[in-house]
Every structure is written in structure tokens, then in C-alpha cells.
């Protein structure tokens, strides 16, 4: 295990070590809210950050297993491709934004726009998520053990949303859907992956009504011609 | 009575206005189209070069050197882009354009020694392999965004806005969401895609500064970072882009084209390119960043004269989109009968969103796309880029400049009061610059 001290090394130096490593375990000490820490990793390394991080920690992650022992700022694991990014505390807005794959785990609460524009990532939040979460969410799953704020899943595409608690309101074209056995199986797997203790049967499922997928012109002339 | 009075058209309710009212009444959906603003706007035609005379010494038109090379992105990037001509190809997506069209743009630009740009749909292997210099757009939708493509790009362009629709997001109609396009964008096939108008994980210049830091960290501080803005408030937006750490600022005027946008957006939002350039340059000069942060200007650039005038106002390079499509075959008169069969005509075709382009450019239909020969079309684009450069050089030499970047506002006069005010150059035959007190 190699310790990288952000109190004495620059962000570029620390990220360079992490980005060029092909394997191994790393610890970053004294993060002091640094932005863009551990972004662009592309190897099966393990990174543990001892303290809070700023924006975009674990951004565009590939393969790596990142653990933040503390809170995270805006854009945690944004555009994650694969691997896992976990925070033990709370996450700021836009956690897991546009993620294409992998797993993001927030053990505390996640702020607004959690999972915005997600494209295949799975996100598990132990607490609540803020307003406009899963906005324009395209693929993947957002699993919330607590409550969801206003306008959940606004303009959602094919992402799946699971909420154990309440939802303040659903956004445009987002509706509640039946929870089928395959969804219970999926939840059981992802909750286990996230090391969360919850009963899949307690979750409600939300997704797209698919009413905004296409424009619906009212072709008056065609109707008249057909008469 | 009508015979005596004649048919008197209404300027307020002209034929195209009447047609749009009928279309709206028949469909209940706003008009969506491609191309750029079609209304008459103040433009570079309203400026003229003064040429050399008693007080200026011209360079010989064909022999004397007049440099055209441009370096983009040396402010922070360790690997800035070096292009041979001051004209680049603007961002246009695979999806909006066929793969053959993207290949043609890559071939033409590469032959001319300049760059192409991806669009709202990710990077394809074809365009990477055919473009020696490729700018990778970082858009609000993040369709197809991935760190591997970031690293294999030659520069990254953070798109805040587009001249055709400042404040608007992308559109791609269902006819063009083929299986491949849908897969690249993680979307269901056949939907009318409306992509986000604002970035999902940053808001405002302070956040953008951190976002740019992240992009630099992921790419090892090697790649130039452009910030593209739609011309709306170019003075403030340019200053804020510089503050956020941009290496290059791209300002796209309202004549800039689009593959699919609401007509009301194209015609009524943003300011003309001519009006935007001096404001962007003013911001750069006040920050002592002119020529340190490069300015690329886009939106309605058609000729070497436009290139030279944009540069004389202070741009470092220009970007072309619509003109490049015309060069590779868009709106070709030889296709007039086919355009007419679709209710349009050569020279008027703007239904880029429809996916049935007879020229094989703005389509995902394999048969139509197969009509475009990317090698031949690439040669046409290379020739066109060569002419733009030769024309700009000719004008620069006439003004006594040994490099096109030596052109300056003092080399020009304006033909209209509006152009004089916007460009900040005197009305021809006077020393009057409207709005300037000195």
C-alpha cells in the first residue's frame, strides 16, 4: 500500500501516480477538499481517500475501486465508465452524472440532480436524494433507500428508479411502475454490491411513460383528406 | 376591381409568413429545420478593405510570403494544435451527418492542414482516422463521452452554446436515430431526441474552471481546451471563459448553422457574427489575453473575404460548417429535381432534420449516404479551403501584411452605419465610428 500525501504533493503529482499505476492499493491523505482527485483512472487499482474531497472525485473512472472516507462535492464519479466509487458520507449535487457504467455508492445523502443524464451506471444512495434527480436519465438504475426530492426522473428515458421512502413529486413523463420479480432480483444484487441492508420488496419503481419520446403532430390536412 | 388595384402583397403578412401560419395550424408543432438564420443580417459584406495606397506598402500578390499558420491552445496545453490555414471545420455530429460526410470533412480538412470537430454524438473511428487534427466536443448531453476518446482527441471543446441557438440544446429527429446512432447515444431507436441545454455537473464560470481542471487532469494537461459560446453576450462570455481557464474561445454568431432547431430559435436568438467579434476581442484585450487565448469565429463564413475580415477584427481563425457542407455537395443544383420532389429546391434545402437528404450528407439512410463519395467530396472541401486561404492572403497582401494575423481594423471601412457601429471601424469616406466618443 502506497500513501500519497496531498499536504506535501500537488494534485498533478498524486493523480499522475494513480493514473499510471496498473495495479495496487493507494491511500491519499490530507485531501482537504481537493477537486478532480482520482479522476481518469483506468486500471484495477484500489484507492482510499482519507477525508473530504471536492468536485469530480473519481471522474470518468474505469476499472478502479475508489473509496472516499468522508464527504464528496459536486459531480462525484461523473461519467464513470466502470469500477466502483463509494463515499461514506454525503455527496453534493450531480453525483454519478452521465455515468455510462460501474457502480456509485453514497452511504449518506446525495444532493440535487443525483444521476442526472445517467447512461448505464447504477447508483445506490443510503439516504435521500435531492430535487431533479435522474433528470433525463437514459439507462442504468438509481436506488434510493431514503426519500427522493421534487421532480424525480423528469424527462426520463430508459433508466430505472427505485425509491424505498417517499417521493416529493415525479417530473415530466416519469410514472410509477409495477415491481416485477426481475426487479427484486436486480435490487438484491445491487444492494449486496453496495453493502446496503434493505429489503427489495420495500422499494417502489419509477420509469418513463414514454409519452415525450416523439413529437405528435396533429395532421389536420391528412384527416380531412381521409374523409 | 382587382384588375385596377392589382395584387398588393403585405410586408407584414408575406407569403412565407402566411405559409408558416397555415403549417402551424395544420400540425400543432413548431417548425424544426436545419441550416442557419435566413433573414437578412448585417454581415462582413458591409465591410471593405482599404488596400495599400500612399501610406501603406502592398506585398506582391503571388510571390511574397504571407503566412497563414495558426497555433491554438498554447496558453496551458503542452501539445497545442498547429494548423496551416486559419480556417477550421466546425462541430457537426455523426448522427446529424452521415459517416461518409464526416469522412469527407476529415479528408478535406486534413489535406488542407486543418482540424475538424466532432459533435453531439461522440467520436467515431472513421472521423478519428480521417482527421489528422480532431477536436472533441464536450457537450451537455455527454452522448458517447468517454475518457479514451478524450485522450485520443487533439483538443477538447467545451460547448456552452451554439450560434444557431444560444440557450438551446440539440435535436435529432427519430428518422435519423438509427441503431448505430442510438447505441452511441444510449437512446432508444427512433425517438425524437432533444438533448440537454445545460451541462449536468457544472453551473457558471467558477464551476467551469473546476471542470476544465478535471479535463486537464484526465488528459495530463496536454490537450488544448476550447470553450465555445453562442454569440449573445460575447464580451462577458469571453471574459468568463478566459477566467475559467480556456486556451481558446470559439464565438459562434447567429448565422451559424444547425442540423435541427426550432425556426423561431434560429431566426430570433443571438447576435450576428459581425457584432460579436469586436466585443470578444475587446474582452481579450482588456484582460491582456488577445493572441494568448486564441479567438475562433464562426457563423456565416463563406469566402476568403469573410475570413480576412474576421481576422482583421481580431480573430485568430474562423470555423465553417454550412459552407463546408455546400462544398461537399449540399444543395447541389444537379439534385434540383430531387429537392423539388421533396417540396424544396436546390439552394433552398434546409430540411437537415428529415433524414432524406438527396445529397447523402444529412442522413443515416444507407442508400442515400452511399451517394456521397467521401474521397471526391474531400477533394472538393480541400479545394474550397485552399481558395478561402488564397483569397484571404490576397487581401492581406493588398494591405501590406506578411501574415494574415497582421490584418487590423484600421485596414477596413464600413459601408453602413450599422456595420460601422458593430465593427468599430469608420463609415467609408468619413472618420465616424458610431457610438465612439473619441
Count the Cβ atoms, other than its own, within 10 Å of residue B438. 3
- Residue B15's CB is within 10 A of a number of other CB atoms, namely 9
Residue B421 CA neighbour count, 13 Å, CB half: 7
In whole angstroms, what is the distance from residue A143 CA to residue A162 CA? 5
Q: What is the mean pLDDT of chain B?
A: 95
- Nearest CA distance, B220 vs chain A (angstrom): 8
Q: Among B141, B147, B213, whose Cβ lies nearest the Cβ of A62? A: B147
- With CA atoms as reference, report the closest residue to B161 among B240, B104, B103: B240
Tell me the C-alpha to C-alpha distance, in Å, between residue B431 and each of A79, A83, B49, B427, B436: 55, 65, 15, 7, 11
Burial B269-298 (b: 16+ CB within 10 A, else e): bbbbbbbbbbbbbbbbeeeebbeebbbbbb
The answer to whether residue B334 scores a pLDDT higher than 70 is yes
pLDDT confidence of residue B320: 98
pLDDT of residue B3: 57
Q: Which of B146, B150, B211 sits opposite A100 (nearest CB)?
A: B146
Sign of the alpha-carbon dihedral angle for B348, B352, B355, B357:
positive
CA within 13 Å, CB half, A214: 11
Cβ within 8 Å, pair B192-A42: no
- Interface contact flag, A139 B213, Cβ < 8 Å: no
| Interchain pair A98, B147: CB under 8 A | no
Q: How far is CA B210 from CA A73, B403, B435, in A?
A: 11, 36, 38
Query: What is the assigned CATH class of domain B31-423?
Result: alpha beta
pLDDT of chain A along its 227 residues, tens only? 999 999 999 999 999 999 999 999 999 999 999 999 999 999 999 999 999 999 999 999 999 999 999 999 999 999 999 999 999 999 999 999 999 999 999 999 999 999 999 999 999 999 999 999 999 999 999 999 999 999 999 999 999 999 999 999 999 999 999 999 999 999 999 999 999 999 999 999 999 999 999 988 888 876 556 55
Q: State the CB neighbour count (10 A cutoff) for residue B109.
A: 29
Gap between the Cα atoms of B114 and B285, Å rounded: 26
Residues B356 and B270 sit within 8 Å (Cβ to Cβ): no
Burial of B84 (0-12, 13-18, 19+ CB in 10 A): middle
pLDDT at B438 over 80: no
Which candidate, B222, B225, B230, B276, places its Cα nearest to that of B247?
A: B225
Instruction: Quote the radius of gyration of chain B (alpha carbons, Å).
Output: 22
CA angle B245, B249, B255 (to 5 degrees): 150
Confidence of residue B373 (pLDDT cuts 50, 70, 90): very high
Q: How many angstroms separate the CA atoms of B370 and B299, rounded? A: 29
Q: What residue spans define the domains of chain B?
A: 31-423
Which chain B residue's Cα is nearest to A92? B201
Q: What is the pLDDT of residues B402-425, one digit of tens each?
A: 999 999 999 999 999 999 999 999
DSSP secondary structure string for all residues of B395-423: HHHHTT-SBGGG--GGGEEESSHHHHHHH
Residue B173 predicted with pLDDT over 90: no
Q: How confident is the model at residue B98, as a pLDDT?
A: 95
Grid look-up 420488496 returns A201
In whole angstroms, what is the distance from residue A205 CA to residue B86 CA? 54
Residue B389 grid coordinates: 486561404
pLDDT at A226: 58
Mutation target to probe the B interface, by most B beta carbons within 10 A, among A40, A41, A135 is A40
CA distance linking residue B159 with residue B154, whole number of Å: 16
d(CA B299, CA B319): 8
Distance separating alpha carbons of residues B106 and B135, to the nearest angstrom: 11
Cα dist. B12→A47, B65, B139 in Å? 67, 52, 38
- Measure in Å the smallest separation between the Cα of B187 and chain A Cα atoms: 7
On whether the CB atoms of residues A51 and A32 are closer than 8 A, the answer is yes
Distance from CA of B244 to the nearest CA of A (A): 15
Q: How confident is the model at residue B172 (pLDDT cuts 50, 70, 90)?
A: confident
CA nearest B318: which of B242, B391, B222?
B391
Look at the block and give the residue holding cell 496498473: A22
DSSP state of B280: H
Strands B32-35 and B258-262 turn out to be: antiparallel
Whether residue A98 and residue B187 make contact (CB cut-off 8 A), yes or no, is no
The verdict on a CB contact (< 8 Å) between B26 and A220 is: yes
User: How do residues B236-288 score in pLDDT, each as one tens digit?
Assistant: 999 999 999 999 999 999 999 999 999 999 999 999 999 999 999 999 999 99
| Closest alpha carbon to B252 in B275, B286, B223, B224 | B275
| Residues across chain B | 438
Helices (H) and strands (E) in chain A, counts: 3, 11
| Per-residue confidence (pLDDT) for residue A76, from 0 to 100 | 98
Closest CA to B121 of B97, B153, B100: B97
Q: Which residues of B225-238 are buried (b: 16+ CB within 10 A; e: fewer)?
A: bbbbbbbbebbebb
Alpha-carbon gap: A186 to the closest alpha carbon of chain B (Å): 20
Asked whether B369 and B96 are in contact (CB, 8 A), the reply is: no
* Closest Cβ–Cβ partner in A93, A157, A213 for B192: A213
Q: What percent of chain B has pLDDT over 70?
A: 99
Chain B residue at shortest CA distance from A36: B214
The kind and range of the H/E element at A205 are: strand A204-208
Q: Which residues contact B427 (CB under 8 A, 6 or more apart)?
A: B413, B414, B415, B416, B417, B420, B433, B434
Q: Select the residue of B142, B150, B191 nearest A214 (Cβ to Cβ).
A: B191
CB pairs under 8 A between A and B: 110
CA distance B183 to B193: 13
Contact A214 B192 (CB under 8 A): yes
Amino acid at each position: 500500500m502506497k500513501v500519497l500525501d496531498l499536504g506535501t504533493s500537488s494534485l498533478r503529482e498524486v493523480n499522475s501516480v494513480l493514473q499510471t499505476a496498473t495495479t495496487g492499493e493507494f491511500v491519499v491523505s490530507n485531501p482537504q477538499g481537493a477537486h478532480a482527485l482520482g479522476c481518469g483512472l483506468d486500471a484495477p487499482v484500489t484507492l482510499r481517500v482519507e477525508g473530504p474531497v471536492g468536485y469530480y472525485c473519481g471522474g470518468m473512472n474505469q476499472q478502479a475501486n475508489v473509496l472516499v472516507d468522508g464527504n464528496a462535492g459536486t459531480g462525484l464519479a461523473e461519467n464513470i465508465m466502470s469500477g466502483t466509487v463509494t463515499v461514506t458520507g454525503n455527496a453534493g449535487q450531480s453525483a454519478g452524472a452521465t455515468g455510462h457504467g460501474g457502480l456509485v455508492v453514497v452511504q449518506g445523502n446525495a444532493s440535487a440532480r443525483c444521476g442526472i443524464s445517467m447512461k448505464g451506471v447504477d447508483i445506490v444512495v443510503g439516504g435521500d436524494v435531492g430535487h431533479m434527480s435522474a433528470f433525463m436519465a437514459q439507462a442504468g438504475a438509481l436506488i434510493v433507500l431514503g426519500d427522493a426530492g421534487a421532480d424525480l426522473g423528469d424527462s426520463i428515458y430508459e433508466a430505472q428508479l427505485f425509491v424505498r421512502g417517499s417521493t416529493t413529486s415525479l417530473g415530466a413523463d416519469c410514472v410509477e411502475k409495477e415491481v416485477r420479480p426481475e426487479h427484486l432480483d436486480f435490487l438484491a444484487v445491487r444492494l449486496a454490491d453496495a453493502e446496503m441492508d434493505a429489503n427489495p420488496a420495500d422499494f417502489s419503481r419509477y420509469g418513463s411513460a414514454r409519452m415525450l419520446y416523439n413529437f405528435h403532430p396533429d395532421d389536420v390536412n391528412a384527416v380531412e383528406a381521409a374523409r | 376591381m382587382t384588375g385596377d388595384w392589382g395584387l398588393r402583397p403585405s410586408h407584414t403578412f408575406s407569403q412565407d409568413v402566411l405559409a408558416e401560419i397555415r403549417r402551424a395550424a395544420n400540425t400543432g408543432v413548431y417548425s424544426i429545420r436545419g441550416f442557419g438564420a435566413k433573414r437578412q443580417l448585417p454581415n462582413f459584406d458591409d465591410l471593405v478593405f482599404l488596400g495599400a495606397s500612399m501610406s501603406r506598402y502592398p506585398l506582391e500578390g503571388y510571390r511574397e510570403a504571407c503566412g497563414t499558420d495558426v497555433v491554438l491552445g498554447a496558453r496551458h496545453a503542452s501539445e497545442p494544435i498547429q494548423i496551416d490555414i486559419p480556417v477550421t471545420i466546425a462541430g457537426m455530429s455523426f448522427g446529424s451527418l452521415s459517416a461518409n460526410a464526416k469522412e469527407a470533412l476529415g479528408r478535406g480538412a486534413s489535406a488542407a492542414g486543418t482540424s475538424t470537430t466532432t459533435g453531439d454524438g461522440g467520436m467515431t473511428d472513421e472521423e478519428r482516422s480521417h482527421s489528422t487534427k480532431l477536436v472533441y466536443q464536450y457537450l451537455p448531453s455527454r452522448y458517447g463521452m468517454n475518457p479514451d476518446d478524450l485522450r485520443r482527441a487533439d483538443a477538447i471543446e467545451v460547448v456552452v452554446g451554439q450560434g444557431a441557438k444560444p440557450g438551446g440544446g440539440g435535436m435529432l429527429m427519430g428518422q435519423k436515430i438509427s441503431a448505430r446512432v442510438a447505441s452511441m447515444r444510449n437512446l432508444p431507436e427512433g425517438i425524437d431526441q432533444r438533448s440537454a441545454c445545460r451541462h449536468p455537473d457544472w453551473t457558471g464560470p467558477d464551476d467551469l474552471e473546476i471542470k476544465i481542471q478535471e479535463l486537464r487532469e484526465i488528459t495530463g494537461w496536454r490537450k488544448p481546451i476550447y470553450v465555445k459560446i453562442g454569440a449573445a453576450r460575447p464580451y462577458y462570455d469571453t471574459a468568463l471563459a478566459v477566467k475559467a481557464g480556456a486556451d481558446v474561445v470559439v464565438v459562434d454568431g447567429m448565422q451559424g448553422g444547425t442540423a435541427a432547431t426550432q425556426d423561431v430559435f434560429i431566426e430570433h436568438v443571438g447576435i450576428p457574427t459581425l457584432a460579436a467579434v469586436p466585443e470578444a476581442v475587446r474582452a481579450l484585450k482588456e484582460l491582456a489575453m488577445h493572441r494568448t487565448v486564441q479567438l475562433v469565429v464562426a457563423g456565416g463564413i463563406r469566402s476568403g473575404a469573410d475570413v480576412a475580415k474576421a481576422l482583421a477584427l481580431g480573430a485568430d481563425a474562423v470555423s465553417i460548417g454550412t459552407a463546408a457542407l455546400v462544398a461537399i455537395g449540399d444543395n447541389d443544383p444537379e439534385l434540383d429535381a430531387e429537392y423539388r420532389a421533396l417540396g424544396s429546391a436546390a439552394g433552398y434545402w434546409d430540411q437537415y432534420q428529415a433524414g432524406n437528404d438527396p445529397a447523402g450528407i444529412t442522413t443515416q439512410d444507407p442508400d442515400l449516404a452511399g451517394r456521397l463519395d467521401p474521397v471526391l467530396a474531400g477533394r472538393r472541401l480541400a479545394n474550397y479551403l485552399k481558395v478561402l486561404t488564397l483569397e484571404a492572403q490576397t487581401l492581406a497582401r493588398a494591405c501590406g501584411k506578411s501574415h494574415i494575423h497582421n490584418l487590423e481594423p484600421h485596414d477596413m471601412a464600413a459601408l453602413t452605419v450599422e456595420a460601422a457601429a458593430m465593427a468599430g471601424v469608420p463609415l467609408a469616406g468619413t472618420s465616424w465610428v458610431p457610438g465612439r466618443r473619441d
